[in-house]
Structure 1
Amino acid sequence: MARADFYLIGKPRFREQPLLLVCELARRAVHSGQPLLVLAASMAQAEALDDLMWSFDPDEFLPHQVAGVEEDEDEVEVLIAPPEQSPPMRALVLNLRDAPVPAGFERVLEVVPADESARGPLRERWKHYQSLGLDLAKHDM
C-alpha cells in the first residue's frame, strides 16, 4: 500500500534552513538504496538544493543532479526536478510543491514548515492522501 510521511520541522537548524531537512531525507534514501525524486517548487529552489547537497556533509557525497541538465538522469540516486521538468515518477518522491503528488509513487515525503500559518496546504494534502487510502505518518524533526 502507498504511504505518505509528513516531516514537521522543529529543530533550529531545520527552521533556519528547511532545505537541510531535504538533504537529510535524501541521505536516508541513498543509504537505504532507494532512488529519490525531489519535486522542487521552482528552478531557484532546485538550484539551491543542488548547491546545498554538494556541501551538506563534507565526509559523504550525495549523488544528485537537477533534471534536464545531463543525460543519465535514470542512473542518479537523487533527481531534483524543477516544475518545468517532468521526469518519470519514482517509487520514493519528496514533494516541495504546493499540489499533492499525482499517483505513481509507493511513498511520498512531505516537509511541513515550522511556521504554523504556512501549514494550511499541508493539511489539505494530508486530507487528500487520506482520501486516496494511503497510510499516513507524522515525524517531528
Structure 2
Amino acid sequence: MPRADFYLIDKPRFREQPLLLVCELARKAHASGQPTLILARDQAQAEALDDLLWAFDPDEYLPHQIAGQDEDEDEAPVLIAPPEIDAPLRPLLINLRDDPPQGAFERVLEVVPAEPAARGPLRTRWKHYQALGFALNKYDM
C-alpha cells in the first residue's frame, strides 16, 4: 500500500529554515538506501536546497544533484527536480510543490509549513491521498 507522510514544522530551527527538514528527510532516506526524488517548487528552491545539502552537515556528504544538469543523474541517490524538468519518479518522493505528484511511487513525504495560513494546499493533498487509498501518517518536527 502506498504511503503519504506529512511532517509538520514545529521546532525553531526548522521554522527558521524549513529546507533543513528536507535535508534531514533526504539524509534518512539515503541512510536506508532509498533513492529519493525531491520535487522542488521552482528553480530557486532547487538551487537553495542544492547549496544546503552541501553545507548542512559538515561531517557527512549527502550525494545529490539537480535534475537536467548531468547525464549520470540516474545514479544520484538524491535528485532535486525543478518543475520545468521532467525527471522520472522514484519510489520515494519529497514533495515541496502545491500539487500532489502524479504517477507511480511507493511513498511521498510532504513538508507542512509552520504558518497555519500556508497549510490549505496540504489539507487538499491529504484528502487526495486518502481518496487514492494511501496509508497516511503525521509527524511533528
Measured against the shorter chain, the TM-score band is: over 0.9
TM-score (structure 2 length as normaliser): 0.99
Q: How does 1:107-122 map to 2 (within 5 A)?
A: 107-122=107-122
Aligned residues: 141
Please provide the CA RMSD for this pair: 0.4
Any stretches of 5+ residues in structure 1 without a counterpart?
none
TM-score (structure 1 length as normaliser): 0.99
Aligned to 2:91: 91
Give me the whole-angstrom Cα distance separating, in 1, the residues matched to 2:81 and 2:103: 16
| Superposed CA offset, 1:33-52 (max 9, x none) | 00000000000000000000
Deviation at 1:61, TM superposition (A): 0.2
Give me the whole-angstrom Cα distance separating, in 1, the residues matched to 2:103 and 2:112: 20
Deviation at 1:117, TM superposition (A): 0.7
Is 2:139 the counterpart of 1:139?
yes
Runs of 4+ deviating beyond 6 Å: none
Deviation at 1:103, TM superposition (A): 2.5
Query: Which amino acid letter does the alignment assign opposite residue 32 of structure 2?
Result: S
Q: How does 1:1-141 map to 2 (within 5 A)?
A: 1-141=1-141
Any stretches of 5+ residues in structure 2 without a counterpart?
none
Query: Which amino acid letter does the alignment assign opposite residue 56 of structure 1?
Result: F
Give me the whole-angstrom Cα distance separating, in 2, the residues matched to 1:87 and 1:113: 25
Q: Secondary structure at the match of 1:80?
A: strand
Give me the whole-angstrom Cα distance separating, in 2, the residues matched to 1:138 and 1:86: 28
